[in-house]
């Protein structure tokens, strides 16, 4: 560019001498413009140099970046290769684990199926045990109720037993008192064809035939009436005593007299005769008296001897305490 300006100046100097002033002036103006343009170009060149320097620096920086990127790319490529290898190994391991897991799942499925079967058996057995336990509990409750009922019944029976023992004790005491009273009333007759005994909670008064009747007769003689009168007086105020009169004969057949045909009839009419005397000689209630004929069928001795037959021909008066309160307890 400087070289061109020098040449232009030389040409201008040569031409000045031979050209008109106007042309010279134009040339000067052009020179001035060229200088100005040259200055601009210098400035522009300077800017371009600065830009070129900056670009060179940027190129260097970019080259360094490219190098770094290439280096990084290489590292990353190596890392990628390693990762790919690791990924392949992981895939292989995963496939192996998947196979093992499939096998394990199959084994687990078999084991689970087996365990479920065993569990079902256990549950069924448990349900059976629970059903048995429920049944046992129901049976236990039933047994407990039965036991409670039995205990209550036993307690009630024990109370009844105590009451019975008390009643029996009172009855025994009453019978003992009654025997003593009867013995006192018949003091002159006891041992003279009349005996008084106490057994089974009753008082038995046995009167031999010779104290009451003639042989084959049912009419009571005076000695017998006296004894029966005293007996009736002793019994008339004993409202809680029942009186059973039993007629007994020996085994020798009775020949018959009127309506009395045999020993059955004879034992009955004799018992009835005693009942009449008892009711006629005192205020004893007839409702307390019972007459019965036993005939020859309840002997106290043998009928093969005179003494035995004499003992069998008798009247037994059985005195029994009323047992109404005892029967109420038993009910």
pLDDT at 159: 85
3-class secondary-structure state, position 139: helix
The tokens describing 69, both together, are: 């990127």
Q: Is the pLDDT of residue 15 over 60?
A: no
Counting runs of H as helices and runs of E as strands, what totals does the chain give? 7, 5
Give 210-267 pLDDT, tens digit per residue. 999 998 999 999 999 999 999 999 999 888 999 999 999 999 999 888 889 999 999 9
The tokens describing 56, both together, are: 């060179």
Using CA atoms, how far apart are residues 26 and 235, in angstroms rounded to an integer?
A: 197
Give 271-290 pLDDT, tens digit per residue. 999 999 999 999 999 999 99
What length is written for the chain?
A: 331
Q: Are 204 and 197 in contact (CB under 8 A)?
A: yes
Give 98-148 pLDDT, tens digit per residue. 788 788 778 887 887 888 888 889 888 889 998 998 998 899 899 989 988
Lowest mean pLDDT among 32-41, 224-233, 296-305: 32-41
Q: Are 209 and 314 in contact (CB under 8 A)?
A: yes
Using CA atoms, how far apart are residues 8 and 12, in angstroms rounded to an integer?
A: 6
The tokens describing 91, both together, are: 């895939």
Give 74-83 pLDDT, tens digit per residue. 887 787 588 5
pTM over 0.85: no
pLDDT at 273: 97
Q: Are 171 and 238 in contact (CB under 8 A)?
A: no
């Amino acid at each position: 560019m400087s070289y061109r300006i020098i040449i232009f100046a030389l040409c201008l100097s040569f031409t000045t001498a031979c050209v008109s002033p106007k042309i010279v002036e134009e040339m000067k103006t052009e020179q001035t413009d060229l200088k100005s343009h040259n200055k601009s170009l210098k400035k522009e060149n300077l800017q371009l140099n600065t830009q070129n320097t900056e670009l060179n620096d940027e190129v260097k920086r970019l080259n360094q970046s490219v190098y770094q990127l290439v280096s990084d790319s290489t590292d990353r490529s190596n890392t990628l290769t390693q990762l790919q290898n690791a990924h392949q190994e992981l895939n292989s391991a995963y496939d192996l684990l998947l196979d093992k897991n499939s096998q394990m799942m199959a084994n687990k499925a078999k084991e689970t199926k087996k365990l479920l079967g065993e569990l079902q058996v256990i549950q069924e057995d448990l349900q059976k045990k629970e059903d048995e336990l429920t049944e046992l509990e129901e049976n236990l409750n039933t047994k407990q109720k039965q036991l409670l009922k039995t205990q209550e019944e036993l307690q009630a029976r024990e109370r009844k037993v105590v009451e019975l023992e008390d009643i029996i004790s009172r009855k025994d005491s009453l019978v003992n008192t009654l025997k003593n009273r009867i013995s006192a009333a018949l003091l002159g007759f006891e041992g003279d064809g009349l005996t008084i005994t106490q057994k089974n909670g009753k008082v038995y008064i046995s009167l031999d035939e010779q104290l009451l009747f003639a042989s084959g007769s049912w009419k009571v003689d005076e000695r017998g009436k006296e004894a029966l009168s005293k007996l009736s007086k002793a019994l008339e105020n004993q409202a809680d005593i029942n009186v059973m009169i039993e007629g007994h004969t020996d085994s020798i057949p009775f020949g018959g007299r009127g309506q009395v045909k045999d020993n059955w009839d004879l034992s009955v009419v004799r018992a009835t005769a005693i009942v009449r005397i008892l009711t006629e000689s005192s205020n004893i209630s007839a409702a307390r008296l019972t007459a019965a004929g036993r005939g020859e069928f309840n002997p106290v001795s043998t009928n093969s001897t005179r003494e035995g037959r004499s003992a069998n021909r008798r009247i037994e008066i059985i005195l029994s305490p009323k047992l109404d309160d005892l029967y109420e307890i038993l009910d």
